[in-house]
Amino acid sequence: MDLPAHGTRRLIALSGNKPHWHPSPNFGDRRNGLTPALIVIHYTAMKTSAAALERLCDPAHEVSAHYLISRQGQVWQMVEEADRAWHAGAGNWAGMDDINSRSIGIELTNTGVEPFPEPQMQALTALVAGIQKRWSITPHNVIGHQDMAPTRKADPGRRFDWARLARLGLASAAASQGPDAPLSDSLDQIGYPKDVSLEARLEAFRARFRPGAEGPETESDRRAASAVAQRITIDRQKAQA
């Protein structure tokens, strides 16, 4: 493990691995009575969990997250889920802004150019499943930082195993090819911000649903996006029924 445990353990079951409580001063109340409706997954872009934890708990940096997960699967909780951590910054998803007031943020120790190890992914999937149950968060509202801020952020990146979360019913899955519909319309329906370039939105979509794709927009991009949009639209309608 790249950092010794600190503090007392929170009483949240994570397949036998309980989070260690390591409080950050960087949080506040959720605004306007909002409660968590999203889970935002990040990577730290740092070499060690020790360095990330120090930064996330340093009042000078004014940044935090609810959870940090090491490569070995150790989980630290820094902010209570009911409180507003400072992890998302500017951006929006599916028409929702003030993402910090609407989300729970999870940081994964990762430099951004490496795979996510099995113990880390196991801890993440257990944590996400518990959060979803506690706050009734739907799979299509489990997103990456890049999804809600595609011109600013690239995490968790193309190496992140979204397909694994989808197989477990924890996140939206890539779908079979749909109609050749306008890409911008499909990305709007999925939830990507409308106030950024199509190129940035396409890169975010590919990072999640077509991680091997490169270059200019293709018919395959449009068909993949329309299929995901159709599935997510149906799921949202069911959730609202």
Residues assigned a catalytic role: 107
Strand ranges, E, within 10-98: 20-21, 27-28, 38-43, 67-69, 75-77, 84-85
Burial class (CB in 10 A: 0-12, 13-18, 19+), 172: buried
Paired tokens of 226 = 């329309």
- Which residues contact residue 199 at a Cβ distance below 8 angstroms, ignoring those fewer than 6 apart? none
Angstrom distance (rounded) from CA 67 to CA 35: 17
The CA-atom distances, in angstroms, between 138 and each of 8, 134, 209, 238 are 30, 11, 18, 11
Of residues 201, 124, 93, 111, the one with CA closest to residue 157: 111
